[in-house]
Amino acid sequence: MDPAQPLQTPRPQGKTYSCYQCGKGSTTLPSLKRHMRTHTGERPYSCEQCDKTFARSCSLKVHMRIHTREKPFECGLCGHVFTQSTSFKNHMRIHTGERPYKCELCGKTFRQSQNLEYHMRIHTGERPYSCEQCDKTFTLSSHLKKHMRIHTGEKPFECGLCGHVFTQSTSLENHMSIHTGVRPYRCEQCEKTFSRSSSLKEHMKIHTGEKPFECGVCGQVFTQSASLQCHMRIHTGERPYSCEQCDKTFTTSFNLKIHMKIHAGEKDYKCDECGKSFTQLSGLRQHKRVHDGLKPYTCEQCEKTFSRSEFLERHMRIHTGERLYSVIPPQRLHEEDPPWRETAVMSLVRPSDIFRSNMLHDMNMSV
């Protein structure tokens, strides 16, 4: 059947031509032909500069503005400019607060119909884009495109100041704040500033006390999903980050990065008062308490204060009557722990138990 031929079936009121594949109505034959390209995949309009093709001439015209850098649509409120009128209209909703597209399942609203369409996949579980190399699936084609760079190693976004390269444009934008010092996102409660809105959002959980991510094994809760992911490695024993120089393994990339400073001899954090240097900021902070006399950890039973939490823990054994006795040679609890955390596998023994054990030993010796 000719797709352009009008059908002898009920049609939408005011429409003349109807698509035989999806039933969409069109007032003119040319508009129906343009619509049919969505089904046939025909893209007759080609860009001479990059060979990209389009189904409509107007789409090619808009695309050409990328090459000419023409941005004819300017926001009268903030001066932002756009290549497309639709982008300009969507932007204006930021100022007006208009969010006309609403999810009927959860009530969440959106500025663009496309964003609502993407959101609906959360409810339906639809993930139509699949990676051919690892079978991972995605809700958006753009997410698949970004993911593919993991396999190809492609890092197309380069910093013009230091040459650092990135897989995503957003990562480059965030990186640039290191050079510019721009931190446009401010917490209204403590005035701390951030380079990313997502970082501010995560920070706000400190004030709200929100910890939406719970460990299904031990029930511990976290403010960030990444923290839960790292925590789960305690239960699974997974240590995916390995040092190429000594084969030590770590639960997080951050701990590996800190460890590498041992091999490099890096001590970036220096005490202004005595000149002592440390590989970690936390080490410098603990050291500064020696000069400041700061002892933030207090025993609730006798009010004695300590500069470090582990000193308080040891002190508490005086009140509980617990003693630690080594049963095997000292070893580090975790690979990433600093040398001063080296300890032995201990058993808790009360003084009365020690006395009883000594009595039995003496009796055996005298037999």
- What's the whole-number mean pLDDT along residues 239-268? 85
Q: Predicted confidence band at 352 (pLDDT cuts at 50, 70, 90)? A: very low
Domain check: are 41 and 100 in the same one? no
Domain check: are 52 and 113 in the same one? no
Count Cβ neighbours within 10 Å for each residue of 127-140 and write b for 16 or more, e otherwise.
Answer: eebeeeeeeeebbe
Q: Is 101 helix (H, G, I), strand (E, B) or coil?
A: strand
pLDDT in tens, 16-72: 788 888 888 888 888 888 888 888 888 888 998 888 898 888 888 888 888 888 889
Mean residue pLDDT of the chain comes to: 80
Question: Angle at the Cα of 113 (from 29 to 140), degrees rounded to 5?
Answer: 100
Please answer whether residues 262 and 279 qualify as being in contact, where contact means their C-beta atoms are separated by less than 8 angstroms.
Answer: yes
State which of 67, 82, 99 marks the end of a domain. 67
Residues 327, 329: Cα–Cα separation, whole Å: 7
Does residue 355 carry a pLDDT above 50? no
Domain check: are 54 and 114 in the same one? no
Domain check: are 136 and 170 in the same one? yes
What is the SS3 assignment for 63-91?
HHHHHHCCCCEECCCCCCEECCHHHHHHH
pLDDT of residue 131: 92
Domain check: are 27 and 48 in the same one? yes
| Position 331 in a domain | yes
Q: How far is CA 89 from the centre of its chain?
A: 30
- What's the whole-number mean pLDDT along residues 228-233? 89
Residues 282, 280: Cα–Cα separation, whole Å: 5
pLDDT of residue 195: 83
pLDDT in tens, 135-175: 889 988 888 988 898 899 898 889 998 988 888 888 888 88
| Position 57 in a domain | yes
Does residue 272 carry a pLDDT above 80? yes
Closest by CA position to 129, among listed 118, 143, 150: 143
pTM comes to 0.38
Q: Is 181 helix (H, G, I), strand (E, B) or coil?
A: coil
Please answer whether residues 335 and 249 qualify as being in contact, where contact means their C-beta atoms are separated by less than 8 angstroms.
Answer: yes
| Position 40 in a domain | yes
- What's the whole-number mean pLDDT along residues 286-298? 84
Domain check: are 29 and 127 in the same one? no
pLDDT of residue 180: 86
Please answer whether residues 315 and 304 qualify as being in contact, where contact means their C-beta atoms are separated by less than 8 angstroms.
Answer: yes
Does residue 271 carry a pLDDT above 50? yes
Q: Is 331 helix (H, G, I), strand (E, B) or coil?
A: strand
Domain check: are 57 and 119 in the same one? no
Q: Please tell me what DSSP assigns to residue 343.
A: B
The structural domain count of the chain equals 3
Q: Which of 296-300, 305-309, 337-341 has the lowest mean pLDDT?
A: 337-341
Please answer whether residues 327 and 343 qualify as being in contact, where contact means their C-beta atoms are separated by less than 8 angstroms.
Answer: no
Residues 39, 224: Cα–Cα separation, whole Å: 43
10 Å Cβ neighbour count for 32? 22
- What's the whole-number mean pLDDT along residues 173-195? 86
Q: How far is CA 168 from the centre of its chain?
A: 13
Domain check: are 44 and 104 in the same one? no
| Position 8 in a domain | no
Residues 74, 33: Cα–Cα separation, whole Å: 33
Q: What are phi and psi of 214, to 5 degrees?
A: -115, 135
| Position 316 in a domain | no
Q: Which two tokens stand for residue 347?
A: 């058993």
| Position 101 in a domain | yes
State which of 162, 179, 196 marks the end of a domain. 179
190 vs 267: which has the higher pLDDT: 190
pLDDT of residue 109: 93
CATH of the domain at 45: 3.30.160.60
Does residue 214 carry a pLDDT above 50? yes
Domain check: are 173 and 77 in the same one? yes
Q: What are phi and psi of 349, to 5 degrees?
A: -130, 130
| Position 186 in a domain | no
Question: Angle at the Cα of 240 (from 236 to 242), degrees rounded to 5?
Answer: 135
Domain check: are 133 and 111 in the same one? yes
- What's the whole-number mean pLDDT along residues 247-252? 88
State which of 49, 67, 85 marks the end of a domain. 67
The domain in which residue 54 lies consists of 17-67
Does residue 7 carry a pLDDT above 50? no
